[in-house]
Amino acid sequence: MEILAFGVQADEKPLIERAFAGHHDVRCLDVFLNEDTAPIAAGHEIISSSVNADLGARVLEILAAGGTRMVAQRSTGFNNIDLDVAERLGITVARVSYYSPYSVAEFAWTLAMAVNRRIVRASIRTRDFDFRLDGLMGRDLHGRTAGVIGTGKIGEAFARIAHGFGMKLLGWDVAENPACRELGMSYVPKERLLAESDLISLHVPLLPSTQNLIDAAALKTMRDDAILVNSSRGGLIDTAALVTELRAGRFTGVGLDVYEAEAGLFFLDKSLEAIEDDTLARLMTFPNVLVTSHQAYYTEDAVGQIVATTVENVLDYTAGRRSENVLVPRS
């Protein structure tokens, strides 16, 4: 059987091909799955999708009409998939429920340190042989407060690094993590966390209940000199409201690895095109904002685990087995 994998990055392709070797043939495409590309999957029972794939009702209908019966998504998040429609069409859906939490947690800290110590501005200056320190002053994080919104595996890994910096820990989640408690974390209401934290990092999934979790009111609750980092899902932040606060001169720094309207932009080369997204274009103009292209997960370790789990999901489907990774079971 040939598996068709959409949205495969160049670094990811050899890992996928090696992982599937001896099991199934795999054809890797660099195009992302959407309504225009879905017809390519005709005749393929199993396809693999990336995190920015469009698996809404129309795309799923095209896939089902072409004979697709299983979608193996190469990510933990699945907010891009209409699971109800997939179930109605008889399409099995599986995801990667776990991979290295350190990849994302470490990158979140990379963003936090970069905006705190003005690394991008400093790098641009020194490339021009401008070695002045004006405007590059940061702050010690030791002794300050880190607010961790979402204290699952990734949030816990982030908190452990914060603990190593000697920071006070505040946490907010629907369920407390005993390991974070052992680090000295105090669980508090979200409003208190936002008001008291010097550094806030988001590590919750995107659900209807977390859409725009950091909205205009939440942003106004934060300290004027706070650092905000989002390496989870773009929809957690109301970006238009964030731009409004940044225009008012608020926040020491904002590090974003995700953006709420990133589909059709991130993972693609848009350098020769006019960007029609005015909110993103405005966001890029602030000197205290660093935007990266959804790369927090992108380490050899994490991608290797993602690919290996994807292969296992496919093998489980062909063998009629069900695992914790299955979102819509085989009918």
Q: Got the DSSP string for 56-88?
A: SHHHHHHHHHTT--EEEESSS--TTB-HHHHHH
Measured CA to CA, the distance from residue 38 to residue 91 in angstroms comes to: 14
Nearest Cα neighbor of 114 from 87, 136, 147, 92 is 136
**Catalytic residue, candidates 44, 95, 118, 233:** 233
Kindly indicate the confidence band of residue 55, based on its pLDDT and cuts at 50, 70 and 90.
Answer: very high
Handedness of CA 166, 153, 235, 295 (dihedral sign): positive
* pLDDT tens digits for range 153-169: 999 999 999 999 999 99
**Catalytic residue, candidates 74, 95, 250, 294:** 294
Is the predicted pLDDT of residue 331 greater than 90, yes or no? no
Q: Residue 262 catalytic?
A: yes
User: 28: which strand partners?
Assistant: 5
Measured CA to CA, the distance from residue 88 to residue 297 in angstroms comes to: 32
194: which residues sit within 8 A by CB, 6+ positions away?
Answer: 147, 200, 218, 221, 222
* pLDDT tens digits for range 298-324: 999 999 999 999 999 999 999 999 999
Measured CA to CA, the distance from residue 331 to residue 328 in angstroms comes to: 9
**pLDDT for 315:** 96
**pLDDT for 51:** 86
Average pLDDT in the 110-114 region?
Answer: 98
**pLDDT for 330:** 87
Q: Residue 294 catalytic?
A: yes
Measured CA to CA, the distance from residue 254 to residue 288 in angstroms comes to: 6
Q: What is the mean pLDDT of the chain?
A: 96
Is the predicted pLDDT of residue 79 greater than 90, yes or no? no
238: which residues sit within 8 A by CB, 6+ positions away?
Answer: 212, 214, 215, 216, 219
Kindly indicate the confidence band of residue 77, based on its pLDDT and cuts at 50, 70 and 90.
Answer: confident
* pLDDT tens digits for range 23-40: 999 999 999 999 999 999
DSSP H stretches of helix in 139-247: 153-164, 178-182, 190-196, 216-221, 239-247
**pLDDT for 267:** 87
Tokens of 127: 């490339």
**Cβ 47 vs Cβ 71: under 8 Å:** yes
**Catalytic residue, candidates 156, 196, 260, 262:** 262
Kindly indicate the confidence band of residue 176, based on its pLDDT and cuts at 50, 70 and 90.
Answer: very high
Phi-psi region of 94 (alpha: psi -120 to 50; beta: other; left: phi over 0): beta
Phi and psi torsions of 172, nearest 5°: -140, 130
